[in-house]
Amino acid sequence: MKKTLIYSFLLLSLAFLWGCADDNYPGAQVSPYFSMYDLRSLYKGEDVTLTKDKMFGSDKLTGVVVSDHSAGNLPAGLLCIQDARRIGLRGISIDLGAAAANYVPGDSVIVNVEGATLKRVNTVLQVTGVTADDITKVASGKPIAVNRVPVNKLLANPDNYESSLVVIVKGGFDPLPQPGDKLSGDKKLNDGFGYVNLHTEATSPIANVDAPVLANYYCIPFNKQVTEDSVAPQLHMRTPDDVVLLSSDITIAPVIITGMVTDVKGGDGNYEYFQLMATRDIDFSVTPFSLVTTNNANASTPTGPPIAGWATGSMRTFKFNLTTGHAAKGTFFYVGGSGRKINGSGSTDISSSNWIRYFNYTNTDGDGFGNKTGGLMANSGNACGVAVFEGTNITVDSRPVDVLFIHNGGSLWGAGPPERGYKITNTDYYDIKNPITLESQAYYTKGSNMLCLGYNTADVGFWYMLGGEYNVTLGRWMKARQHINFEMTKQTTIEELEGEGATKLLE
């Protein structure tokens, strides 16, 4: 009976508290500003009249203008604003007619949208029924966040980016622009992650800009109908300044890294190896190369940032000289331990493949530097990597023709003076200059050079299959290398490592 009375008292107390909930936060008000994220979520395929009820008590939008109609390359009459309220950056187009041209990027505006309509017009989601009297400009010159978006993400979720400002980094065209080619019309733009249509009106000043080899493109995506049931983003630049030239030169890597095994089944010593591809016919006795690995485990000496970069030697870097043999254009070749088994001791013999250099690195020092070792590449913890160089005289100033790292831990770069680290080159993963700020960043882990492959589970025999597409005419990756974990057995064949999923050379 006593327990029943206690429970009854508690229930009455809770009911009293719930009944007084309205008095707990006196003066609380719903924000008048509705987020772009929530606004776009209201549209379910049919026109939506915007009311306070549907906008949960809000009646306005606020954001920063990203559209600029001065060059006549955006859909006429659309004012594009974006905000990052709620969940991520989103944009929306507002059908404002000729008045849209009165606003410039960086204007901060408040838009009264109560009673307006959210609808798709020519597949572009926009707010209609708004006039210039519904818009208040509260500031100008506001910063606009740089939203770097890989093309694959843009294609996968076009609604997430429509009407907002995005930058496509390291964009190039296929086919390669010829001297005199301009940006006018529709062009296939590729950033290594996919293709997207870049549209330039023939009457716009942008149409007269020379088509560059490599550039950053600041654009506003608008959805365009491609089939009865699907849309795809179409990119529109705003002014000629939205093209930021990165390069007018074509540099073709003569050798690219296409795969590796860093942890075979069983003991690793003398069984690690690297798969590479020649992008031209190479006679290594005439044009020698070298392959250098780096292991940055805490026990590796010398410690700290590598004092001589890739040429540091000791327990930090290890070199293979490639001075004999041939590799035909588009073919794979191998470098590594003299075991030449596909997945450690007792596995498939792959000695008949094109091995340009191999020796027992467990009892033999590297070619020129690097102590004999039981493991060229670390299996956990700090970073390890591999780089290919033209020539065999590697110094602190040497820059590779291709390079890849696994993980980014450890002491890899130091600002100095003098600056020390592992030099990189322009690849699908790394940039000598920051593609956004254009600041110099010649080393791994400096600036934006943080991309890397992930460690594989130890003692299984995972093959790092780096499935990409390298265009030897354009000198760039049209499809960036993707780390595919291919789990080998003792019976795996070399054909499996060179077949489906492997890197392809494009002309």
- 474 against 250, higher pLDDT: 474
Give the C-alpha separation, 405 to 438, whole Å: 23
CB 214 within 8 A of CB 476: yes
**What is the DSSP track for 247-293?**
ES-----SEEEEEEESS-SS--TTT-EEEEEESS-EETTTS-EEEEE
Instruction: Report d(CA 165, CA 232) in Å as an integer.
Output: 16
Q: Is the pLDDT of residue 19 over 70?
A: no
Residue 223, pLDDT score: 95
Q: Residue-wise over 395-416: b if at least 16 C-beta within 10 A, else e?
A: eeebbbbbbbbbbbbbbbbbee
pLDDT at 5 over 70: no
pLDDT tens digits for range 396-454: 999 999 999 999 999 999 999 999 999 999 999 999 999 888 899 999 999 999 999 99
Domains of the chain: 36-139 (2.40.50), 151-247 (2.40.50), 255-506 (no CATH)
Rg (CA), the chain: 29
Q: What is the pLDDT at residue 465?
A: 96
- Decide if 257 contacts 427 (C-beta within 8 A): no
Q: How confident is the model at residue 177 (pLDDT cuts 50, 70, 90)?
A: confident
The tens digit of pLDDT for each residue in 373-395 reads: 999 998 877 999 999 999 999 99
Q: Which is higher by pLDDT, 43 or 25?
A: 43
Residue 248 has pLDDT above 80, yes or no: no
Q: Give the tokens for residue 234.
A: 């179409």
**Is residue 261 a contact partner of residue 377, using CB atoms and an 8 Å limit?**
no
At 28, the pLDDT band (50, 70, 90 cuts) reads low
Span 299-310, pLDDT tens digits: 889 999 999 999
Residue 294, pLDDT above cutoff 70: yes
H or E, element range at 168: strand 166-173
Cα gap 470→60, rounded to integer Å: 49
The residues near 427 (Cβ < 8 Å, ≥ 6 apart) are: 253, 402, 403, 404, 477
Using alpha carbons, list the distances in angstroms from residue 105 to 40, 100, 268, 434: 21, 11, 57, 24
SS3 461: coil
Which tokens go with 247?
A: 């390069």
Is pLDDT of 24 > 60?
no
- Pair type for strands 462-471 and 504-506: parallel
The percent of residues above 90 in pLDDT, for the chain, comes to 84
Check if the beta carbon of residue 293 is closer than 8 Å to that of residue 318.
Answer: yes
